[in-house]
Amino acid sequence: SQVDKQLSGDSNYVCITSDAWSNISNEPVVNYMAVSPNNSLFLEAVNTEEQGHDADWLSKDLIRVIDSLHNNVVGAVTDNTATNKKVWCELEQKYPSLFFHGCASHGLNLLVKDIFAGKKAELSGGGPDHDPASYPFEDLQLFFIDCKDIVTFFHNHHAPKAKLKKALATAKLRALVQPAPTRWGTLIGCFKSLRAADSILNGLVSERDFVTAGGAKQKEKRLAIRAVIMDPDFVKKLDECIRILEPIEMYIKLFQGDAVPCSDVYKAFLVLEEKMRNMSNISSEKKEYLAKLVRSRFNFMYGDAHGVCYLLDPRYLGDDMTRRLRNEIEDFIYNFLKNDGTTNKERQEQLAREYTAFRIEALRERRENTFRFRLIGQSKSVLQWWKADGTDWPLLQDLATHVFSMAASSAASERSFSTFGFIHTKLRNRLGPEKVKKLVYIKTNTAQISGTDLFDYDSDCSIDFSMDVSILEDVTA
């Protein structure tokens, strides 16, 4: 009843997030979360068994979930795959007043893969057009493989591992991080941990018996590890990788919060593209390639909510948006449908008048930097601003409360699978699917409704839910 109460009511809008994974028994599972700026509630999980995750099935199942929540749903967010993009198009046709787009954090994680795995014939998960012939990061791709080999070597060999652990503890440094494709942010963690431990690693591989201690079979591997660590360009390449990844990692963390508006996603990709173009100490070819990748990834995940939010956010008001795109989004605003899927000329004209009045007032407040304007994004969210201060424009306010209730990412679904992993472990692998779902439902929703954290994450897998809007302001930082 508590969950139903949270999901009911005319103004309790939620965004559906969905993701797929394989459980401890290697069985495919699709989950659904109802996300709002206040909490993220677990709805259900579907064990798909032999059913393939094609666009037709995913669309039908998402329609089933949306219809079960009636008029409280404002849209859905999924991972960024070619199949899911087809799903967005199909659902936009069925629900023209709802919004559908890709997860911003997942899109940035794919951007990292574009950079460090760009020579693959097909990018992981699908995505924008890619020209491997112009790929300028072969050196960093090979360097990344070398770094993984270093971490794996010290993880798998007991004596070097013990020496490294003792030296790191003495220096108060964290352990080397093993990059994992399913855990966002571990790649930069790998580079940073190697950078911090550089002098220690140099000392270990310089020891007289490092190469010979493992016997003849390990000699070649140990020589290769020593050659990489003692390469004069080792630190230089680490610094280049970290410099490229730091702004991406910052936004991956930012967008995992449920309260981040889609306007911040639009702004962040503008900032990120500019940062890549102005990055120091890398070639112009690499800078242009990075900027192109950023733009392509955003175009792939883009949905109407991003553009509408960016125009209706009083902080941004469509800054740096092309005239063509602005006209398209303004036309979308004027033609925004009622819940029954209809509109008329009178409604269109009223929306146009309200939008014009809003822009005039918002531009004035931003220009004068009023107290009310300074609250936005700090003690008052953009959604709260529209609910409290948008009453002069009722039709536009209705659109704004819908679109600013959209989630920026599907991180809530990722967190839900962490709960699945916590409950359905190797020691409890005989739990049936239905029992697991009920336990996840109780654990997740009890924690959300009572206002406590879903997990007390350790330092290696922490998620930063805070939203520091100031990082979006300065494109030259």
Average pLDDT, consecutive stretches of 10 residues, N- to C-terminus, the chain (477 residues): 75 90 85 91 91 94 92 94 96 95 95 81 48 81 95 94 96 93 81 97 93 82 95 96 95 92 97 95 93 96 98 97 96 91 94 98 97 93 96 96 96 86 80 85 84 46 36 37
What was the pLDDT predicted at 338? 86
CA distance 154 to 230: 16
User: Which of 245, 210, 231, 206 has the alpha carbon at shortest distance from 143?
Assistant: 231
pLDDT the model gives residue 9:
67
Angle between helix 104-116 and 138-156 (nearest 10):
100
* Number of neighbours of residue 259 by Cβ within 10 angstroms: 18
Joined together, the tokens standing for residue 58 give 């995913």
- End-to-end, the C-alpha distance of the chain in Å comes to 48
Cβ neighbors of 417 (< 8 A, separation 6 or more) are 19, 21, 31
CB of 288 closer than 8 Å to CB of 277: yes
* Domain 1-103+409-476 falls under CATH 1.10.10.10: no
Which DSSP category does 46 fall into? Answer: E
Which candidate, 148, 145, 81, places its Cα nearest to that of 110?
81
pLDDT at 23: 82
Q: What is the pTM of this model?
A: 0.88
Containing H/E element for 17?
strand 14-22
